[in-house]
Structure 1
Amino acid sequence: MKKASKSYTIEELSKLLEGTVIGHTKHQISEPEQIESATESAITFIGHKKYIPLWEGSRASAAIIDRSLELKNPGDNRAFIEVDNADLAMAKLLEIFTPEAPELAVGIHPTATVSDTAEIGPGVAIGANSYIGPNVKIGPNTKVYPNVTIMDEAEIGSHSLIKSGTVIGERCIIGHYCIMHANVSIGSDGFGYRPSPDGRGIVKIVHIGNVVIGNQVEIGSGSCVDRGKFSSTTIGDGTKIDNLVQIAHNCKIGRACMIAALCGISGSVTLGDGVIMAGQAAIKDHITIGNGVTVGGRSGIMNDIPDGKTILGYPAIEAKDTLRQWAALRRLAKK
């Protein structure tokens, strides 16, 4: 991976991270790195006690440490930056060392196809071989990378990033400061079919709605959000969706939700604000999940879930009850 050409003293980094320096190192820090792979120019992270034994064998000259670990002796020519939350400090550090984004010149690439009726805001960049359909609206300073398709009457707000291979269907709306990663599909038909009356075929149910995505939403590579059957599939402000997630027609996803990879959300599901779904979880159609619910990995949700619950298992129930069931099964297996 290409590293950013930046370097800092340990004191400079500590100030940027609002931490406390323990020890000292003369090395300039030019990259963050995993504790096992770090060199003398790297800073690493110790956010949990299980990583403490790795520090002695690491070549890193510095580490961000969680204050709760109470580590006080980094060693000779080495230093810690003590912070209240190592994970959040790591996120800030990665922003500091972020390399420049791929170059994409403002304006329309000569090989792009842009309808005469499209409204393109100032500072917009449209990459090679992209297609912008009739009556599309793209807000100021949005970047459309090569090989993107934006169909008729779709709207994208300002300062958004639409990565290569993404398809935004007709009449769909995306807000400001959004990121659509590679090969995202917004506005495909929902999976709507019924057996034909004669029993010899399958009747397709056409979907005439759209998708409406709020501001500061990020959707990972290969994820799909289907259009509504009648009205809109919606995703609230600030929600983050991982790679390879399926969101079906007419779902209502709340604000600031986090949905991990390989989750499947069936049609007409409602998620409240702040819902967290771990990987490979699935939700049956027409289910309502309350605010602040946490769903464990590989869980299958068959019933409505009230606010604030942590659920796990298949079918999903409160996590503490699932864990008791699993413990009982282990005891039975030993008899």
Structure 2
Amino acid sequence: MPDDQIDTLAVQVAQTLFASFYKLLKVAMKDQLPGGLFYVASPELTAETLSVIPHNKLPERAFGMLDFMVRFRPNASILINESFITFSFNKTHEWLDSLPKEERDKLLTDARKQGTLLRGKFKLRCSEIKKKRLESLKKKQEAVRKKKENSFKKKEIQTSEVIFYGLWQSSSVADDILRSITKTSEKRKALIAQLRFQQNVLKQYVKGKKIFNASVKGKALSREALTENVKKLIEEAASKDVSENIQQRSSRMPILVGKKVRHTFNEGTFTAKVISTVPGFPDYYNLIYDNELDSEGKVTDTTAIYTYRLLEDYRAKKLDNTGGGRSKTMFEVLFKIRSACSCTGSTIF
């Protein structure tokens, strides 16, 4: 390769490297650059740092010795190891040997007398460190608790909104409900409620998270775009790819579909029939309660369909089969088999 081509490539490489170095140093050496805290050192700071070594060989050596001693004599306390390293690095032995015998004996006697005091200070220091660590741990736990609490409140609000508008499980249902809403702002609110519920509560699996966005670069999406995204989510929930992904993550089977159940709430116990599961979400069951049927016991256009996680309610003893003894026993057996398969990764067919 000719030299002129080599020089051209070298210039390009150098330009790329120096551009990266500039970005790195601008952040890492912020205090040392013009305008930084230490760009112009004061005389006091200069005097304080005169004894600072320009390398890290000494601390690396100290850590190496500490690592060896911890492995060689693991029962030794930190104070003992610290004293040994300090004694070695300061060459205290040579200094003591250079002193007269009387002065050396006096220093050793005084050191022994101060041993109890030093050990007390060491225990106090360890106690303070432990206390600070516990405080830090409590702060982290409190932060996690608040985060979970905020997440729960957020999901609770989103669930309430979906209860108001209904969980749309098909494109035709979405169109019907949107037509029944007169205000454009209310339609938009209903669409966003569906998106947020699918994202945060149902945690629907999607290949691109942008489908949950209600805006792009600070600009709100149009109602048509939101409607299209909601319909895509509904279609993807029942698609083959999502179904396979769900089967990999969960082996839950809709064992309650077609069953008559008694569902207990704070207001009382209600009888319902489980008609289906939410497409793509086998944990969520659709129910029609008997008090929602017409006088002839039939489903009409005004019949409300409710969605609940019935298996969780069953575990909480808020759900029961309305059948007889044998039917009820079979209901419990199916539930136990389903639970066992969930633990082992099996699937019921």
The TM tier, using the shorter chain, reads under 0.3
Larger radius of gyration: 2
Which is bigger in relative contact order (C-alpha 8 A, separation at least 6)?
Answer: 2
Calculate the TM-score normalised by the size of structure 1. Answer: 0.19
Larger helix fraction of residues: 2
